[in-house]
Amino acid sequence: MEKATPKTKTYFENAQGIKVTNKTLSTRYKDEAILANQSVIVGREPLIIGGILGLGLILFCFQFGDLLYWSEMFLIACIGALILVGGYSIAALRVGQYMQERTIFWHTIWTVQNVRMAIARARNNMENETENVIIQNGGE
């Protein structure tokens, strides 16, 4: 009698090679097993760096605006705004045990949030499957 292998359910998949199943998180370069006691963190370091640099450039334009041409002010303000938008849009996904997380990949905040939610759904499904297991003591 053959044992039925559990089917792999896919929770998230995109064209860049990121795939979340009920057992693994796969990227182009590494695979990570999804465990019930694993922490999943969205890192936003580019937001802080982009905020400081972008606001610094914009404040530079306002402080020294009387010494700059309009085209120079516009160019510096546009570069500052692009840095702000880029810092807001980029995030890192960290997976691992508490205080020992590793950065798995960098991507847009929307993709990272979708992967994080897919991992949460996969872990929730794992917990629901283990609740249905009945343990019996045999031979007592």
Q: What pLDDT is stored for residue 70 in this prediction?
A: 93
Long-range contacts for 98-105 (Cβ within 8 Å, ≥24 apart)?
Answer: 98/39, 101/39, 101/41, 103/43, 104/25, 104/27, 104/30, 104/32, 105/18, 105/27
Of the candidates 136, 119, 128, 124, the residue with the CA atom closest to the CA atom of residue 12: 119
Q: What is the pTM of this model?
A: 0.76
pLDDT 10s per residue in the chain (140 long)?
Answer: 455 556 778 888 888 888 998 888 888 888 888 887 888 899 999 999 999 999 999 899 989 989 999 999 999 999 999 999 999 999 999 998 888 888 988 999 999 999 999 998 988 887 776 555 555 555 54
Question: Based on the number of CB atoms within 10 Å of its own CB, is 8 exposed (0-12), middle (13-18) or buried (19 or more)?
Answer: exposed
